[in-house]
């Protein structure tokens, strides 16, 4: 396993992050999540591979994702300082108000069975709460020792820049990571959000690095329970562009030529483009094997260009729009 530091912190993480949305009581959020025995096996396998970075959220499977992760680490006798735990806040009553943040962090810590988080991430941008209130509350958690570092997730570049400026103006903790939607089939954040992150030394830890599995199968089709029931993933990739299919085929050809899995090519591209730790949502141990092996896959400049050349602009996915007439809407859900 290879390791890197998060942002400008001293937090050392494996360059593969395990996405814990795959863990949790089936049916509480998704039908395809793993029950506890299955989750524990995948978590144990991740640890055996040297992976120390786990990403979850307060809303994943109604909190049972956090519970499963904390329980599995405890039962595997993992020392707390040997793992890096990240969780998120936003999709809860009060969004990112001070009261909500203070309430939700305590619930997260209790479910994980720990007295601090390594990384606390705001899940989206909150249009209703003043950004000074949100950033001040997050800073207080760092000062109190409940959180080592803070991060953020999918939003517009100007929103991220404004949040960071408020932190700078007040001498507060600033964001060290960005968890955005980024893969070979969706690269819109390259225009603004990613350049801002790079300018500020903020680490990228993208979600959906394999485009909901579409970068892992040459015919685009997947036959998993998730592919059949995950409405969000289907909404992102249900309208195939011919350019997208050409990218998938190019991934397939490169993988065949190198004798590796398609997923390894898609992940190797992430690291070649400066990503610190893509989040791999795993429902099988083999998914993590592919992710770990991908660290040894090297792509030449010519191969990178061949993967990127067919790309065409896509509608924004992952951020939230605020329309007072229609309410706050996830761009993911727009058709």
Q: Which residues are catalytic, by number?
A: 60
> What is the three-class DSSP state of 309?
coil
Other CB atoms within 10 Å distance of the CB of residue 124: 21
Contacts of 246 (CB under 8 A, 6+ apart): 310
Token pair 């949502």 is at which residue? Answer: 281
Closest CA to 235 of 186, 179, 270, 295: 186
The distance of Cα 309 from the centroid of its chain, to the nearest Å, equals 25
Alpha-carbon distances, residue 66 vs 56, 91, 132, 301 (angstroms): 6, 15, 28, 40
Token pair 């602009």 is at which residue? Answer: 313
DSSP letters for 114-150: -S-EEEEEE-S--SSS-HHHHHHHHHHHHHHTSEEEE
Token pair 């109604």 is at which residue? Answer: 62
SS3 of 56-84 = CCCCHHHHHHHHHHHHHHHHCCCCHHHCE
Buried b (16+ CB within 10 A) or exposed e, 274-306: ebbbbbbbbbeeebbbbbbbbeebebeeebeeb
Give the whole-angstrom CA distance, residue 298 versus residue 154: 28
């Amino acid at each position: 396993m290879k390791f890197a530091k998060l942002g400008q912190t001293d937090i050392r993480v494996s360059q593969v992050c395990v996405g814990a949305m795959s863990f949790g009581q089936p049916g509480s959020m998704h039908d395809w999540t793993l029950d506890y025995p299955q989750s524990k096996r995948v978590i144990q396998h991740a640890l055996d591979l040297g992976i120390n970075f786990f990403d979850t959220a307060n809303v994943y499977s109604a909190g049972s994702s956090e519970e499963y992760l904390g329980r599995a680490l405890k039962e595997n006798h993992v020392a707390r300082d040997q793992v890096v735990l990240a969780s998120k806040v936003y999709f809860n009553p009060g969004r990112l108000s001070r009261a909500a943040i203070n309430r939700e962090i305590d619930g997260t810590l209790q479910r994980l069975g720990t007295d601090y988080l390594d990384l606390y991430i705001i899940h989206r941008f909150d249009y209703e709460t003043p950004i000074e209130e949100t950033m001040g509350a997050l800073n207080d958690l760092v000062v109190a020792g409940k959180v080592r570092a803070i991060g953020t997730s999918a939003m517009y570049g100007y929103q991220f820049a404004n949040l960071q400026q408020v932190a700078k103006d007040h001498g507060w903790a600033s964001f060290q990571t960005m968890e955005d939607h980024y893969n070979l089939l969706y690269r819109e954040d390259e225009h603004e959000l990613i350049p801002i992150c790079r300018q500020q030394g903020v680490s990228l830890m993208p979600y959906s690095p394999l485009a909901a599995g579409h970068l892992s199968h040459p015919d685009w089709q997947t036959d998993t329970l998730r592919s059949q029931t995950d409405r969000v993933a289907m909404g992102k990739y249900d309208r195939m562009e011919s350019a997208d299919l050409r990218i998938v085929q190019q991934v397939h050809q490169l993988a065949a030529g190198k004798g590796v899995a398609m997923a390894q090519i898609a992940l190797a591209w992430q690291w070649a483009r400066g990503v610190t730790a893509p989040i791999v949502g795993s429902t099988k141990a083999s998914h993590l094997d592919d992710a770990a092996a991908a660290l040894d896959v090297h792509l030449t400049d010519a191969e990178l260009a061949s993967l990127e050349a067919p790309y065409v602009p896509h509608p924004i996915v992952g951020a939230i729009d605020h329309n007072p007439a229609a309410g706050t809407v996830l761009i993911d859900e727009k058709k």
